[in-house]
Amino acid sequence: MRAVVFPSAGGPEIIQVVERPDPEPGAHQVRVRVAAAGLNRADVLQRRGLYPAPPGWPADIPGLEYAGVVESAGPGVSRWQVGDRVMGLVGGGAFAEYVVVHEDEALAVPAGISVVHAAAIPEAFLTAWDAMVTRGRLARGERLLVHAVASGVGTAAIQLGRALGAVTLGTSRTAAKLERCRALGLDHALRTEPAGLDKAVGEPVHVVLDLLGGPWFAASLRVLAPRGRLVLLGLIAGSEAHVELGLVLRKRLEVTGTVMRPRLHAERVPLVAEFAARALPLFASGALAPVVEEVLPMREVAEAHRRMDANETFGKLVLAW
């Protein structure tokens, strides 16, 4: 099979496409012929040598999400048949023509969505769902604030927040991106820096999805309502923050962090099952949709990395074979 590899750490120029042996499915596994894979910030960090693959996944083949067609099944598989359209998360290896996954971690591609565009769903929507619903316990009528709202996770969070009946607020430094977020249903578009977040937000919020970290973390604590929940998802703006811990005490705040990639099978399966039951039907109804900036051929994967390095993307870039 063909596979995208990072032979060393570096810029987009180090990316290669090479031949690798086809993987074989084991018990309760399916082999998926990958139609497309979504590009994520984690892939960029791995290319730079900052985010290695977890144990058990390919060390040099990136890719955390895939969509394709089941080509073969190992012993004991009962959920899927050859020819089924599936998508899902992996710890690495999605940027290859084939990927092997446990049958319980695969999701059905929603009706009405192409298998290529479906590659933009798993990482963004499962991450947003886990942060908002599982950890943030977002309730109807509550106010949700999302930093880096024009990202893949951010654009998914807008739609999920709307579907759950929340009031959505989002930050970005780019006016044009905020306008596109409004078209997705964002209620309040905030073009601000951390120092001005209090004024921009106004009324306190109940849940914050912080994909930035750094100074945004402390600013988020300030705008949370009593018993508010902050979920840290990324550190693009920095891995250190100076915070007033008294805010956490006085307002009885909950602060948690989450990341999808290193999770073990036992932790992934309940999340996938809940998402399949509660969120997948919303794609069929049109309430949710993948936000795809562009579909590029896999041979242009280096160009996709350059665009993500420059923060030029809105939603997701998808690479197709």
Classify domain 2-121+261-320 by CATH number. Answer: 3.90.180.10
Q: Write down the pLDDT at residue 266.
A: 96
Q: Write down the pLDDT at residue 71.
A: 99
Structural contact between residues 2 and 19, judged by C-beta atoms closer than 8 angstroms:
yes
- What's the Cα-to-Cα distance from 11 to each of 49, 218, 312, rounded to whole Å? 10, 32, 16
Structural contact between residues 96 and 20, judged by C-beta atoms closer than 8 angstroms:
yes
Structural contact between residues 16 and 81, judged by C-beta atoms closer than 8 angstroms:
no
Q: Write down the pLDDT at residue 80.
A: 99
Tell me, yes or no, if the pTM score tops 0.85: yes
Give residue 190's identity as a one-letter amino acid code.
L
Q: Write down the pLDDT at residue 133.
A: 98
- Look at the block and give the residue holding tokens 């009706």: 111
Query: Of the given ranges (88-92, 274-278, 311-315), which has the lowest mean pLDDT?
Result: 311-315
Pairing of strands 316-320, 85-89: unpaired
Burial of 72 (0-12, 13-18, 19+ CB in 10 A): middle
Burial of 225 (0-12, 13-18, 19+ CB in 10 A): middle
Torsion of CA 308, 148, 158, 115, to 10 degrees: 10
Both structure tokens of 81: 């048949």
Q: Write down the pLDDT at residue 260.
A: 94
Mean pLDDT of 292-317: 97
Mean pLDDT of 275-304: 97
Question: What's the pLDDT tens digit per position in 30-50?
Answer: 999 999 999 999 999 999 999
Mean pLDDT of 100-111: 99
Cα–Cα distance, 297 to 47 (Å, whole number) = 19
Structural contact between residues 201 and 223, judged by C-beta atoms closer than 8 angstroms:
yes
Cα–Cα distance, 166 to 143 (Å, whole number) = 6
Question: What's the pLDDT tens digit per position in 201-226?
Answer: 999 999 999 999 999 999 999 999 99
Mean pLDDT of 103-129: 99
Q: Assign domain 124-257 one CATH number from 3.30.300.20, 3.40.50.12500, 3.40.50.720, 1.20.1250.20.
A: 3.40.50.720
Give residue 318's identity as a one-letter amino acid code.
V
Residue 147 sits at the vertex; the CA angle it makes with 145 and 153, to the nearest 5 degrees, is: 100
Question: What's the pLDDT tens digit per position in 146-177?
Answer: 999 999 999 999 999 999 999 999 999 999 99
Give domain limits for the chain: 2-121+261-320, 124-257
Question: What's the pLDDT tens digit per position in 128-144?
Answer: 999 999 999 999 999 99
Mean pLDDT of 289-298: 98
Structural contact between residues 82 and 38, judged by C-beta atoms closer than 8 angstroms:
no
- Give me the chain's average pLDDT, please: 98
Residue 90 backbone dihedrals phi, psi, to 5 degrees: -140, 165
The interaxial angle of helices 152-163 and 175-184, nearest 10 deg, is 30
